[in-house]
Amino acid sequence: MESLLIKGGVPLHGEVQISGAKNAVLPILAATLLTAEKCVIHHVPDLSDVGFMGKILSSLGAQVKIDGSTVTVHAAKIKGHGDYELIRKMRGSICILGPLLGRLGKASVSLPGGCVIGTRPIDLHLKGMRSLGTKITIEKGYVIAKAPRLVGTELFLGGRSGPTVLGTANVMMAAALADGLTIIESAACEPEVIDLANFLNAMGAKIMGAGSPTITITGVKELHGAEHEVIPDRIEAATFAIAAAATNGEVRIKGARADHLHAVLDKLRECGVKVERQGPDLMVKRGGRLKPVDITTLPYSGFPTDCQAQIMALMALTPGLSIITERIFESRFMHVPELARLGAEISIEGPSAIVKGGRPLSGAPVMASDLRASAALVIAGMTARGATQVNRIYHLDRGYEKIDEKLKRLGARIERVEGE
């Protein structure tokens, strides 16, 4: 199993190109199942999760062609039964449920897996499908769904931790081919939801209000093929911005969407990082002595939970006391013991991590527990004295396109090696 060996102490300098958004491309690829015509998707990142989704689409009968960052999907004839082993490995695979119901009126999808960052039930997905007239049972690890006729409705998709992004996507895709009007209240407002809606509308759907808490879908009889370019990955952009600040470097982040990053950029500026918008790019550099900040993760447009681990690594280097409160996932502090191996002083009090920053970090072997925890450990390792070995980096490859190569071009001393 591969690991990353990092020799710290080198500031990052140069420019990095941001890839397409992982959290946008997976439901967009799933949405190609809604039409028998060919769809062409551009700016697709080279990620293991994207590879998994391609295999899932192929297992359903679609023809999938990958040419660099362009993926062509032709789902002329498909079946409603997904590959159990493929789907259960990736949580994002649940987003095939809506398209299969919309297109075929039936679906058999295994319960999905993914990162171990706390309970992420699919109850809101199932609630949405039932509201549209679907009969659902759980049998032998499968979600068995049947809906000879989907009927538009008004439904509330808010959950304990706020709206559901994938649940909103799933309902939008199914409702696009339902009879009548569907209104989603407490819909997720993330840019990835808007990107999916734009793709669906390009296919002939009638969706209004994406990006707001109320989304209206007027069902149509059929959808056609379309061409679409995926938005840049705001979490990747944020990760590189935090890495630039942590290493005391200066990095131009090309293709970043600053309008998708308000909460992150606000906190970086608050802690003393200089962030300048230059057209579609961001220039990020350390502005001097870092200052501690308090952060609470919230649904969009609040501070994203997917940046919580990375900002914690930065706060571990920042003199003073920072409090980071996690309001989305209850188990998303699994990186804390690993950061402590590097010398970080962090204590957990309920949903909050109290970070006493300012001590220099020193390299050590660490274990990645999930995708964003992996990124935090890489950032910490680049600032630590000596060598840090980050094990189980398959998590990183799920959501960051060739992150080691991009960091190396910025001057980082980082290598892939065989590890635990």
Domain boundaries, the chain: 2-19+232-418, 22-229
β-bridge mates for residue 96, sequence order: none
Q: Cα separations (Å) of 44 from 97, 201, 211?
A: 21, 19, 22
- Identify the three-state secondary structure at position 404: helix
Superfamily of domain 22-229: Enolpyruvate transferase domain (3.65.10.10)
Please say whether the beta carbons of 303 and 263 come within 8 A.
yes
Which residue type is seen at 398?
R
d(CA 323, CA 101): 44
- Write down the pTM of the prediction: 0.95
Superfamily of domain 2-19+232-418: Enolpyruvate transferase domain (3.65.10.10)
- Identify the three-state secondary structure at position 236: helix
Residues marked as catalytic: 115
**Do the domains 22-229 and 2-19+232-418 match in fold?**
yes
DSSP string, 205-223: -EEE-BTBSEEEEE--S--
Kindly state the helix (H) or strand (E) to which residue 5 belongs, with its residue range. Answer: strand 2-7
pLDDT in tens, the chain (420 residues): 899 999 999 999 999 999 999 999 999 999 999 999 999 999 999 999 999 999 999 999 999 999 999 999 999 999 998 777 777 777 778 899 999 999 999 999 888 754 443 444 788 999 999 999 999 998 888 889 999 899 999 999 998 888 999 999 999 999 999 999 999 999 999 999 999 999 999 999 999 999 999 999 999 999 999 999 999 999 999 999 999 999 999 999 999 999 999 999 999 999 999 999 999 999 999 988 999 999 999 999 999 999 999 999 999 999 999 999 999 987 789 999 999 999 999 999 999 999 999 999 999 999 998 999 999 999 999 999 999 999 999 999 999 999 999 999 999 999 999 865
